[in-house]
Structure 1
């Protein structure tokens, strides 16, 4: 009990420090804006023949989008540098709610948040495209354009090989919402659902499916001996109890071997067969680091993550102007999430600004256990929030009243009015 109290006090202290950092940055940004307006401090525009001096950010999820804002608001007016964001998606994908919206109807459009208002348009150039390769001086886009860079920040995140419920494969919001609706229909129509993978996505989808359709047979298969095996014992127990309370059949220590769509069953590693009308894979993600493979293959480790220094420069001394942050970077976290990504974005963007000013890089990133907090839903109206430092855990069970999992807060965070969108698709503006 004493250990839990100490951990809670440390958590409060960390939260206060985090809040003060946010406050300090807000005040500093406001002061800079006023200082830059002083006539004698305004920088001169670059000469016409100076050429492009781009800070290119590849990827605009939690890490890249946040870094773009920090960079765009930290550079002085008339700076010779320009921030260029390259992102294939038409909207920010709020992936945390994908498992819920694979089951619950009528909210899927809320998972796609409009880009743009978070960063003033005059501060960045936005390119909706994919990077094909990275060279020493430029990135080659699949659409054919070459974008030169002086500094490059890789924030490509990770992708799920099987798509939903972890990721949508489509880039446009309309296609993404249609994919979610197709998944909703399949789950609604199936009688015997099998979910493979006992991480957060698998646990949450199985729990939501059983909570929404209690009459269905829902089976969760996980290859490890515990659900949520990367986390502490208390969360493992809580997730298993939550699923069993709902009536989900949990099979641990078994791998999926094959699926027979004719006989409507799946075969597990023990030889056991499980009836199955619809199979959903939730068994992992892979970092999206391939764009650097031809330039610096030694910076990519066997898991696909980019090796980085504590300054978040990639671990290749010949490429000191390339940084990485978010899920694609190997920074030592066991359970990376959006909080880690945004903390890394702060370090990377601060170091890029220093380098752009000719200063020596001085900020370093070190993971903190409090950043690994996870809120795991266990059905439509229950959740548990987990903190842990590897030795002691804190669990905070809660009742959930919003089926959309408070999506409105994320829209507000990115500077957008919930749920207004100029997208001319299948859903109204509100």
Structure 2
């Protein structure tokens, strides 16, 4: 009797650990984790490792250690990708296997089309390291680097590049009036001062409308054209909820997040055994991060443990002020 968890980043990995460790002895239930990546991607370090050489291997952490305390036979780990879900099974991409489930957790997170510096679009550690090394070499060889997006990834990669290569022209473009606009004014001010102190050119309230790789230019909405050797897009993260679209299309919000109840069951009364947590879930968390994802994961795990014991899921998730805290490096 399977409890299937789709995705094993901060949220999914935590769900697996809590449930596998919380099932009673000789339980008929088993955790099945389906994750396409060979290693855990430690996303916090990616912006820096796009710039600084020699550390890229540290971004990929072997799976398994976090589950060391789980009883033998309490879980199965499947390296594959879920491509479809119905009311009884999840279908895998590579093996074609259909895994039956009694409970399902969607913890697929968020992604970006371009990948780095926010995500690594590679499922294998070696391939991921090569992508980071390629980024490092591109930045090292460039004279002018344009970074688009003034969130954490954009601010960190711009300041790291300028700190390591002070002779380079680093331009950070952000469409809002302040970088780190989702956070408080104190952090916004500190980030701006850090950028200016290093000599990063900051372009606010403007956006790129055209990128010409042939001429090496980007054109802004204001009409300004910037010539650069390397262009980095740090915008456009989107929740990876497509996997649920056939089973429960009405549970996917216009933003692409999965609508959930306070118990983190999806907002579909016909599917009380399906949960969502992490970046993919519509929890109204102002600044989704690993801290909030792991708290959500604990709620999901505790509710499933109640359900397998024949009890009503009663744990609810509430946002905390600490979910909006971030550790931001500025060079």
TM range (shorter): over 0.9
Which residue matches 1:178?
130
Deviation at 1:332, TM superposition (A): 1.4
Give the aligned CA root-mean-square deviation in angstroms.
Answer: 0.8
Deviation at 1:263, TM superposition (A): 2.7
Matched residues in 2 for 1:263 and 1:176: separation? 29
Q: Structure 1 residue 164 and structure 2 residue 112: aligned?
A: no
Q: Structure 1 residue 191 and structure 2 residue 143: aligned?
A: yes
Matched residue count = 327
Q: Structure 1 residue 85 and structure 2 residue 37: aligned?
A: no
Structure 1 consecutive aligned stretches of length 4 or more whose deviation exceeds 6 Å: none
Q: Structure 1 residue 108 and structure 2 residue 56: aligned?
A: yes
Unmatched runs of 5 consecutive residues or more in structure 1: 1-52, 380-430
SS of equivalent to 1:92: strand
Matched residues in 2 for 1:184 and 1:226: separation? 27
Structure 2 length as normaliser, TM-score? 0.97
CA contact (8 A) 1:84 1:124 kept: yes
Which residue matches 1:413?
none
Deviation track 1:57-116 (CA, whole Å, cap 9, x = no partner) reads 000000100110000000012100010000000000000000000000000000100001
Matched residues in 1 for 2:216 and 2:3: separation? 52
Unmatched runs of 5 consecutive residues or more in structure 2: none
Matched residues in 1 for 2:89 and 2:240: separation? 18
CA contact (8 A) 1:339 1:372 kept: no
Q: Structure 1 residue 275 and structure 2 residue 227: aligned?
A: yes
Deviation at 1:123, TM superposition (A): 2.4
Deviation at 1:272, TM superposition (A): 0.4
Q: Structure 1 residue 236 and structure 2 residue 188: aligned?
A: yes
Which residue matches 1:405?
none
Matched residues in 2 for 1:330 and 1:364: separation? 14
Which residue matches 1:135?
86
Deviation at 1:284, TM superposition (A): 2.6
Which residue matches 2:306?
354
Matched residues in 2 for 1:250 and 1:122: separation? 54
Matched residues in 1 for 2:252 and 2:12: separation? 19
Deviation at 1:266, TM superposition (A): 0.9
Deviation at 1:211, TM superposition (A): 0.4
Q: Structure 1 residue 68 and structure 2 residue 16: aligned?
A: yes
CA contact (8 A) 1:54 1:151 kept: yes
Which residue matches 2:290?
338
Matched residues in 2 for 1:361 and 1:205: separation? 42
Which residue matches 2:73?
122
Matched residues in 2 for 1:254 and 1:149: separation? 48
Deviation at 1:319, TM superposition (A): 0.3
Which residue matches 1:264?
216
Matched residues in 1 for 2:212 and 2:98: separation? 46
Which residue matches 1:393?
none
Deviation at 1:150, TM superposition (A): 0.2
Deviation at 1:371, TM superposition (A): 2.1
SS of equivalent to 1:347: helix
Matched residues in 2 for 1:276 and 1:207: separation? 17
SS of equivalent to 1:274: strand
Deviation track 1:194-237 (CA, whole Å, cap 9, x = no partner) reads 00000000000000000010000000001111101111111111
Structure 1 length as normaliser, TM-score? 0.75
**5 Å matches for 1:336-415?**
336-379=288-331
Deviation at 1:260, TM superposition (A): 2.3
Deviation at 1:264, TM superposition (A): 2.2
Deviation track 1:323-364 (CA, whole Å, cap 9, x = no partner) reads 000000011111010000000011000000000110011111
SS of equivalent to 2:189: helix
Deviation track 1:3-56 (CA, whole Å, cap 9, x = no partner) reads xxxxxxxxxxxxxxxxxxxxxxxxxxxxxxxxxxxxxxxxxxxxxxxxxx1000
CA contact (8 A) 1:257 1:267 kept: yes
Matched residues in 2 for 1:125 and 1:354: separation? 21
SS of equivalent to 1:56: strand
Matched residues in 2 for 1:190 and 1:313: separation? 48
Matched residues in 2 for 1:125 and 1:141: separation? 14
Deviation at 1:262, TM superposition (A): 3.1
Q: Structure 1 residue 218 and structure 2 residue 197: aligned?
A: no
Which residue matches 2:259?
307
